[in-house]
């Protein structure tokens, strides 16, 4: 009787696992990319407006000039999908996440540090989204999520208190604008959920519509002022504002969700305040006090806890466990 030969291990299983591992690593890289560019956004924006040449209106114009041009081919390919959204809904989305949002957010950087912006707005978005989704989407937050968001509010309050206690003139104005921006982005998020609009479709539609509506009068009124800035600064801000933090980060975030899921991808958003605070020091010379560092740590902890907590639907509509739309 012949001895049976050992069967070789199947190769297709290991190959499939290797492909999966590669996809997961790539998705994490995309998620961390989003956290990095979103965290640097207030820092580099404040660096530009502090120079005194480019103002909030110019950064918003560059964002939607470059972003609109880049989004145009995508919008053309998705014209049927955008047509189904409708002009009125696209206009509403642009009001929440278009030029007005950029003007208020960057305008707030004239009064308050970039690290405050990088913490208050991202931390405020899930809080405002929950408050708006309760009556509009019938998504009632469960006890765990409500507690986590209360922690976020406490952290934001600590940061705001430091701004007041430091007697920095006008800091509260920046904080107020950052909170308004959080509410606006929450409105954008709730609209996407209520109307069931794809995040990439929304980003492309908002960029294209904003380019058509905002850029022409901006160029007409500010072209001489824009010419006073160096070509390198204009090109850098246009690419960073319009591509890296705009269209590319939206596509990257949605792509990461497709592999990692909404919960793990949204958890990376908690790194935005860390990136903003860590980079504001060497780039802008902003030295955070211990109260701000404590507030940032509290906000990050609350954001992570909120991501893992779920909402309890008050009606039949299922509630997502994490925010699936890209953050500002």
Other beta carbons less than 10 A from residue 146's beta carbon? 15
Structure tokens at 8: 């070789």
pLDDT of residue 289: 83
What is the rounded average pLDDT of the residues 19-45?
Answer: 89
Find tokens 């006008």 and name the residue.
170
pLDDT of residue 255: 87
Q: Note the pLDDT tens digit of each residue in 237-294.
A: 999 999 999 889 988 988 888 888 777 777 777 889 999 999 999 999 988 888 888 9
Cα–Cα distance, 200 to 196 (Å, whole number): 12
Q: Is the pLDDT of residue 309 over 90?
A: no
What percent of the chain lies above the pLDDT cut of 70? Answer: 86
pLDDT of residue 16: 54
Cα–Cα distance, 74 to 204 (Å, whole number): 7
Are 318 and 178 within 8 A, CB to CB? no
Q: Which residues make Cβ contacts (< 8 Å) with residue 304, sequence separation at least 6?
A: 267, 270
Partnered with residue 139 across adjacent β-strands are 313
pLDDT band at 135 (very low <50, low <70, confident <90, very high): very high
pLDDT of residue 317: 42
Partnered with residue 140 across adjacent β-strands are 312
Q: Which residues make Cβ contacts (< 8 Å) with residue 188, sequence separation at least 6?
A: 93, 96, 97, 202, 325
Cα–Cα distance, 28 to 8 (Å, whole number): 33
- Domain chopping of the chain, boundaries: 29-313
311-313 and 139-141: which strand pairing? Answer: antiparallel
Looking at residue 271, the DSSP 8-state letter turns out to be G
Cα end-to-end distance, the chain, whole Å: 72
């Amino acid at each position: 009787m012949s001895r049976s030969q050992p069967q070789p291990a199947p190769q297709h299983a290991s190959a499939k696992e290797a492909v999966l591992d590669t996809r997961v690593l790539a998705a994490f890289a995309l998620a961390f990319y989003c956290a990095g560019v979103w965290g640097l956004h207030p820092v580099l924006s404040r660096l530009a407006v502090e120079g005194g040449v480019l103002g909030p209106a110019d950064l918003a114009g560059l964002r939607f000039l470059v972003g609109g041009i880049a989004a145009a081919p995508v919008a053309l390919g998705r014209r049927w999908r955008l047509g189904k959204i409708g002009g009125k809904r696209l206009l509403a989305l642009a009001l929440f996440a278009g030029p007005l949002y950029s003007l208020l957010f960057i305008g707030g950087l004239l009064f308050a540090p970039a690290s405050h912006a990088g913490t208050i707005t991202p931390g405020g978005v899930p809080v405002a989204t929950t408050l708006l989704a309760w009556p509009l989407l019938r998504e009632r937050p469960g006890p765990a999520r409500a507690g986590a968001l209360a922690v976020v509010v406490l952290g934001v309050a600590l940061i705001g208190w430091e701004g007041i206690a430091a007697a920095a003139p006008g800091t509260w104005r920046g904080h107020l604008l950052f909170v308004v921006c959080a509410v606006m982005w929450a409105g954008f998020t709730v609209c996407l959920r209520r109307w069931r609009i794809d995040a990439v479709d929304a980003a492309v539609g908002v960029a294209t519509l904003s380019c058509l509506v905002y850029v022409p009068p901006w160029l007409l009124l500010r072209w001489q002022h824009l010419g006073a800035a160096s070509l390198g600064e204009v090109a850098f801000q246009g690419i960073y504002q319009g591509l890296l933090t705009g269209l590319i980060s939206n596509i990257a975030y949605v792509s990461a969700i497709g592999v990692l899921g909404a919960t793990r991808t949204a958890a990376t958003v908690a790194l935005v305040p860390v990136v903003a605070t860590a980079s504001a020091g060497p780039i802008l010379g902003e030295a955070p006090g211990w109260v701000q560092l404590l507030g940032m740590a509290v906000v990050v902890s609350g954001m992570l806890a909120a991501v893992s907590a779920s909402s309890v639907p008050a009606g039949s509509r299922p509630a997502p466990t994490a925010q699936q739309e890209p953050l500002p």
